[in-house]
Amino acid sequence: MLAWLGLTLGVAFGSALLPLISVEIFLVGLAMQQPHIPWLLLGAAVAIGQVSGKLLYYYAAKGDLHLPAFMHRRHKEKLETPRRLRWHRRTKRFRMWVEVLREKCQRHPKWMVGTYGISSVLGLPPFMATSVLAGMVRMNLTAFIGAGLAGRFIRFSALAASPAICAGWFF
């Protein structure tokens, strides 16, 4: 059982870093194949793995974690192409929206905790985006970890319990 929980923690951490990995599918499959593992432990393992992975995004957005050179923007003023200028004009409204949202979150820290907490349970707004935004507005680390763990635990515990609940309906 400990090996499965360790694997679950690793998959959850990996899915927090690479959104192409679906921890939801893994969790439901594991809960169906290994029904003897308590769903609360599975929910806790996934919550810890997910929040641990998102901490890297949080610290990077906060500026505490320095990214490799290839991930930094390069200012190439002389090499501006018409295509890049069009892209810059098209994304101007989105960048302004993000800046306004960031300023609101800095002025109202409790609003950011609520948004992040809801995102950790529902996944809307995207949990990765709210993790980055939390770092950008310098959300309290304790609030980040607490709201993230609570929300992710609720989400993934319910998901881990769902195969047993559905099996009770049909069999």
pLDDT at 106: 78
pLDDT at 42: 94
Mean pLDDT, rounded, for 121-144: 91
Mean pLDDT, rounded, for 97-115: 82
Kindly calculate the radius of gyration of the chain based on its CA atoms and give it in whole angstroms: 19
What percent of the chain stands above pLDDT 70? 89
Phi and psi angles of residue 92, each rounded to the nearest 5 degrees, phi first: -60, -45
Q: What is the pTM of this model?
A: 0.81
